[in-house]
Amino acid sequence: MSRSPVIYPPFSSSPLGAAFAPPPREDLAPPRVTSKVSASHSTQIDPISHSIRPPRKMRVPADFFIRPAGTTSVSLGRGSGASVARDYASYDIHPPQSSHTRRGTSPDTSIPDLREALSTLESKMASLMSERERLERSLEQAVRLQAPIQRLPSELLASIFTIGVLGAEEEDTLMLSSIVLVCRYWADVAINTPTLWSRVVVSNHVSLDKARRRLSRSKSVPLHVDINFSPQMDGRGGTTETIIHAMDILYPSIWRWKSFHLSVPTRPQAHAALSRCREKAPMLQVLEIRVFNSMQDDHYSPAPLPLFDGHFPRLQVCSFNSFNFGWDLSMIRGLRVLELGGYWNRLAPPVNVILDILRASPQLEELSLRNMSDVDPETCAMYEHEPHLDKRFPSHMIQLPRLTKMTLHYAGIQRTRTILSQLAFPALEKVALCYMDNVTSLLDHLKRQSLTSLPLQHLRIEASFFGELELVKLLTRTSSLTTLELVDVEDASSGLIKSLSAPKTTTTWICPKLETLNLDGCTTLDWDSLRTFVESRLPAHVRAYPRQAIPPMLTLPTPTSYSALTTTFSTTSATATLRQPHPIHALAYPASHGRSHSVPPNASSFSWPLRLRSLDLTRCHQIGKEMVQWLRLYVDEVKCENSMRGTGSSWQES
């Protein structure tokens, strides 16, 4: 008997839908009524006819759990055990769409509309970004305004700018330009601070427009005028015209000049500039005139006098180089600093002129004489002392109680010796004698001054001859000397260095405060004397005894035996005392190796010398590299450059 195919319950009223309907779900089926005929075999009741019929067995298709959505299974017959999955599309059947199905575009939306919408959105985003940047800038400015530097008053900020720009000897123009470029507020403060623009410079690299701008911004503050034209740039031409135009611009402000520096290549250019200085200069304090071509001899030698109408009551500093002002004493009276140089042949000042200038400036503090032709010995004979007069206190001596610095650089030995013989300088601290032939007589005048008062701290002798004995006598009298420079001198022998190594007596040292020694170019010194000098300046017992306060050593009676000492003193103290040499023996026989003077001196009034801090051995070819390395163990700063023997290479130590 053939078995009919199993058909799922219909889900639509059409026969075709009933054929491909999905299997029914038991949770959605109406409740079935079963009879209680048998507990083990329940009978299903038809809900429509309420008739009892036997239960119908439903078979689950084989592809029920694996068939794709939207398909149904059709059985091939009873006993076949197979079914065929058919797509709804093949039968033009559209199942209901779920909520997750994508919706299509509405027919009223077009591509231009979408593009226009995107463009509008991008415009809004750009405007929002611009607004954000504006807010960020506002926030940054608000935060910057809360900084302490922005809360400073303009007066205090101007003072800080003035210290930074004008604090050094030369103006820092780069700093001033940087200050102006920081912000608008700083630029306004800087422009409205006249002191920052008080230095007016005209040179080969600074135009006249900058000078005009500085003059206008400086308002009425005192000016520092600097006209500087290098002789190397003079070959281009137009220098004289530029100097004349600069003086025409600066001429109306002469009344507020505080300092005036003029440096030009030739005397005609200096004559053209100074011929316009006819107005009074009541605030002028510094006057510097320099002519580079000092050997030139022309008809412009006399200067246009009187300068500044002869009215400069506050003038204190004069520096003239190859400028012949007729040696008018009215220009250089009551000075504190005087520098004269570059006078040759007939333009060189005689001795009486220099003495008159010094006599007119009793408050002079610095004196410098450079590059002058020497005078004839006959002109100096009238200043020699009579035998019956006391050479230390002659009646015609010129008193310079405030003179602290003196520089004599190729000024003529006859002139300088005569001038020093007429001066008294009890406050002199620094002396430089350079290219002066034989300076023995000058050292003798310094020693004569030391008999009364000479607080000399710095002595420099360069390229000059001198008597070693006279120098030692002078150094013996100058206990305050801290710096000694002997540059390119052939008379600096080993005996001079040895004299500085140990005192002649037990209570005096030569230059006990000496800390800096310059022996540049001194090739006659030997290594033993230099090493002994450095060792002798080392403090005794560096770790045990302070240099400033040296305790007196306990003096013991001379014992007859070691046992006698033990009965009086303890073994420890006696042994420590016997190991120390007597101070007199230590001074008389300084150690040649290691640290000398192992014990402090016995005399409480003894002044132990200071340790050497700086040593310059440049161009001392006799000092080897190993010697310099040894010196660096005991001296903080050692300067030396020497060519190593056999290699030809150079090395430097500092």
Quickly list DSSP for 133-155: HHHHHHHHHHHHHTSGGGGS-HH
612: closest CA among 593, 638, 645?
638
Chain centroid to Cα 271, Å, comes to 41
Helix or strand run (H / E) with residue 369:
strand 366-372
Task: Determine the Cα–Cα distance for residues 236 and 123; give it in Å rounded to an integer.
Answer: 62
350: closest CA among 311, 376, 386?
376
Q: What is the pLDDT of residue 60?
A: 53
Helix or strand run (H / E) with residue 318:
strand 317-321
Cβ contacts of 70 within 8 Å, gap of 6 or more: 87, 88, 95
229: closest CA among 175, 197, 272, 259?
272
Q: Judge contact between 311 and 292, C-beta under 8 A.
A: no
The stretches in the chain having pLDDT less than 70 are 1-108, 169, 233-237, 296-304, 385-395, 503-507, 540-607, 642-654
Q: What is the pLDDT of residue 153?
A: 86
Q: What is the pLDDT of residue 424?
A: 92
Q: What is the pLDDT of residue 401?
A: 93
Q: What is the pLDDT of residue 144?
A: 80
- In the block, tokens 């390229």 appear at 463
Phi (first) and psi of residue 482, to 5 degrees: -115, -25
User: How would you class 324 by CB atoms within 10 Å of its CB: exposed for 0-12, middle for 13-18, buried for 19 or more?
Assistant: middle
Angle at 500 between CA 494 and CA 505, to 5 degrees: 125
User: How would you class 642 by CB atoms within 10 Å of its CB: exposed for 0-12, middle for 13-18, buried for 19 or more?
Assistant: buried
Q: Judge contact between 596 and 618, C-beta under 8 A.
A: no
Task: Determine the Cα–Cα distance for residues 397 and 75; give it in Å rounded to an integer.
Answer: 148
DSSP state at residue 26: T
User: How would you class 86 by CB atoms within 10 Å of its CB: exposed for 0-12, middle for 13-18, buried for 19 or more?
Assistant: middle
Q: What is the pLDDT of residue 575?
A: 37
Q: Judge contact between 378 and 421, C-beta under 8 A.
A: no
Query: What one-letter code names the amino acid at 449?
Result: Q
Task: Determine the Cα–Cα distance for residues 228 and 201; give it in Å rounded to an integer.
Answer: 8
* Maximum separation of any 2 CA atoms in the chain, in Å: 178
Q: Where are the beta strands (DSSP E) in 143-255?
A: 199-203, 223-228
Helix or strand run (H / E) with residue 85:
strand 83-87
Task: Determine the Cα–Cα distance for residues 365 and 403; give it in Å rounded to an integer.
Answer: 4
- In the block, tokens 């030698």 appear at 301
Q: What is the pLDDT of residue 121?
A: 93
Q: What pTM, to 2 d.p., does this model score?
A: 0.66
Q: Judge contact between 485 and 457, C-beta under 8 A.
A: no
The domain segmentation of the chain, as residue ranges, is: 15-88, 153-197, 482-543+580-654
Query: What one-letter code names the amino acid at 654?
Result: S
408: closest CA among 379, 376, 384, 431?
431
Q: What is the pLDDT of residue 484?
A: 95
Task: Determine the Cα–Cα distance for residues 289 and 79; give it in Å rounded to an integer.
Answer: 134
